[in-house]
Amino acid sequence: MKRIAAAFLTLLSMALPAAAQEYYDVGVDLPAYPEMEPVPESPVYYAPAVDSNYFYYDGLYWDYANDGWYSSPWYNGPWSYVDPVYVPTYILWVPIAYYHRPPHYFNAWNRNHAPHWAEHWGGDWQRRHNQVYSGRRNANASVARAPLPHYQRQYTRDNYPRAVAQQAFIHGQHSSYQPRESITRQQYQNRGMATGSIQRAAPPQQAAGAAGAAQGGHAGGGNPIAR
């Protein structure tokens, strides 16, 4: 049965859209599932004990590294680069105080406020970001926090599923969360992750032999993962 499940996931990894993606190592290699706490008055979580600019929002972990935003549905990656234009507003609104490794240019700004992204990325970024998210964000609106993926707690550094197809398979066994953000839905689709219903198939431990997905190209600041 284990061989059948592994063979199924190997075929799945070749067929899913994840095969067109490129994934990055952003220096996050946690020994175990991190404890997350909510950022006050925000739908975003942060990790008090993680030495990184590390957050969780709407079904994705987010990390700000090397002047770029990266996201992953699993706590240790692999990570996808996200163009700043498409980074959700709620992530960008997190105050500097919750960044554990803030870049030097954050020092000029009030740590109790969000970074001045328009000052850093320029007016063209601001215009394009507003086109994507205009009219859909209200600083005073209450947005429910997405449930944390506690099923990942059983996976430590020693048994962490590195293959994207294997991660998608395990996610489908445990989560029925439907993301609200288009960028999250797109990432789920690219990685072959189902939303809205829990899939019933072979147990996750039978997926240990799954192969990883092939990588695409992108000029982000992280280190591409060789497959």
Give the mean pLDDT of 142-166: 95
Residue 157 belongs to a domain: yes
Considering the domain boundaries, does residue 225 fall inside one?
no
Asked if the structure places residue 148 within a domain, the reply is yes
Total domains in the chain come to 1
- How far apart CA 106 and CA 220 sit, in angstroms, is 20
What average pLDDT does the segment 181-187 reach? 95
Top pLDDT among 195 and 219 is at: 195
Q: In this structure, what is the dihedral angle of CA atoms 155, 156, 157, 159, given to the nearest 10 degrees?
A: -50
The answer to whether position 223 is within a domain reads no
| pLDDT value of residue 186 | 94
Per the domain annotation, does 196 fall within a domain?
Answer: yes
Per the structure, the complete domain to which residue 28 belongs is given by 2-216
Name the more confident of 74 and 20.
74
Quickly list H helices, 21-145: 89-92, 117-121, 123-133
Percent of the chain surpassing pLDDT 90: 70
Residue ranges of the alpha helices (H) in the chain?
A: 2-15, 89-92, 117-121, 123-133, 164-174, 182-190
Residue 207 pLDDT grade (very low, low, confident, very high; cuts 50, 70, 90): very low
On whether residue 226 sits in a domain, the answer given is no
Answering whether pTM is above 0.95, one says: no
